[in-house]
Structure formats: structure tokens, C-alpha cells
Structure 1
Amino acid sequence: MYIRVSYDTKPDSLLHLMVRDWQLELPKLLISVHGGLQNFEMQPKLKQVFGKGLIKAAMTTGAWIFTGGVSTGVISHVGDALKDHSSKSRGRVCAIGIAPWGIVENKEDLIGRDVSIFSPEVCNF
């Protein structure tokens, strides 16, 4: 799911949309993952520990995971962990990427009223 909002959109309106319309449970914790945009390799064992730990932390606490919404740097490793988790269907993890509109790929496909595009490899709902 996605939503494009203005810089002056009220946070209460976004929360209402996510909880009432998208039927997400209110989080008990927010996990914010940020890092540089430069890609880097992570040793396979470390990547596995990072991914499993992040998913376990989110699931056991009912957290939402926030990222910069790009597929570079540390955030690409978060995306890999989410994809691995969703492929094993072990429960829901709410991940929210907040990206500037200018860098969104295929944004032309998202313009219009009531445009709905489902991307199973990314969406974890």
C-alpha cells in the first residue's frame, strides 16, 4: 500500500488512515532504521543475525519499522530481511518506508484517483 502526502499533512490524519482504513494495529514501539545510502556487503552470518533480530524485535513488541524508503545502504538489508520473513509467512510485520516523491521508481503508475497497485514482493500485509 502507498500514500502520497503533502508536507503539511497532519500526522493524526495519517495515523487514522493506517489504523482505521488499512486496519493496522497501533504499534507498541517504533523502530527507525537509518544509514548511509552507499551500498555495502554484509557477511552472510551477520546479515542473517541482523535480519532475524530485526524481525523478532518487531514481532515480539508489536513494532512498526520505519525506513527511508530506498533500496540502498542498510535499508536494502532491511528490505532483504522483510522479503525473507514474508516468504516464510510467519506473521505480519509492519514496515513503512518514507521516500521523497522524486526518487520513487515508476511513480507515473501511481498517479490518479483510486490507483491501486499491489506488489507482493514488497508488501508484507
Structure 2
Amino acid sequence: MFFQFVRVAVDSKPEALLQLMLREWQMERPKLLLTVHGGSENFILPPKVKQAFGKGLITAAISTGAWILTDGINTGVSKYVGEAVKLFGGHDLRKRNTVGITPWGMIDNNLDLIGRDVICCGF
């Protein structure tokens, strides 16, 4: 699976970030945004509920041209979103428009990411 990331300042212009995602990352402009938020505590979903949640979320996103927004943390509800994208998202990365917006301090080994594959885009 291919991941891209960008670190932005609090006062970054949303338009510049959108242009990065559309032009550089070649994501399709969303027709809808699905935000999935919940507690970061881990919990167990029964298998049937987990499958229904994942399949339903991905079907809704693909059929509507939506982006799925999460907190990007691999725990709680966001973990189930990530698993759903892997299981039901298909092979076409252009249809896997899932965006995690994570605080910099929550990323393990974040200092290893500084200065790698730097692209200047007005941030």
C-alpha cells in the first residue's frame, strides 16, 4: 500500500493543501466527505458488525465519490476504518481516498520524516 504525507502549519491555507492532494497526489476531487471519529480506545467489534461497518463504509465512499477523513491513528474506530480500506477498498488507489489528519506529536519516530522527499508547495 502506498502512503503519502504532508506536514502543515496551523495557519496553512486549505486551498494549498487541496491543490497538493489534487495535483501532486492525483486524488480525485471529492463529491462528499465522510468523517469517521470516535474514541481512540481499542475495542472489539463482533466479526459480523466489523464486516458490515467496513463494507458499508467503503461502498458508500466509492459509490458517492467521497473521501473518508479520520484522525489517522491506528487505534479505536480509525483502526477499523484502515482495516476496511485494506479489505474492501479494491486495488485502484484513486478510489482509496482516505485521509488521516494526525497531530504531529502522535506520530512515532516523526523526526525521521523531516526533510524526506521534500516538495515545496506554498505551505
Percent identity, aligned pairs only, is 54
| TM-score normalised by length of structure 2 | 0.87
Task: Indicate the RMSD between aligned Cα atoms, in angstroms.
Answer: 1.7
1:99, CA displacement in angstroms?
0.3
Render the CA deviation track for 1:27-67: whole Å, top value 9, x for unaligned. Answer: 00000000011111000000000000000000000100000
Structure 1: segments with no counterpart, 5+ residues = 117-125
5 Å matches for 1:77-96? 77-86=80-89, 88-89=90-91, 92-96=95-99
Q: Which runs of 5+ in 2 are unaligned?
A: none
Q: Which stretch shifts more, 98-107 or 51-60?
A: 98-107
From 107, 110, 114, give the equivalent of 2:110: 107
CA shift, 1:105, in A, is 1.6
* Structure with larger RCO (C-alpha < 8 A, sep 6+): 2
TM-score w.r.t. length of structure 1 = 0.85
Rounded Cα–Cα distance in structure 1 between residues aligned with 2:45 and 2:106: 25
- Count of aligned positions: 115
In 1: Cα distance, 2:60 partner to 2:109 partner: 32
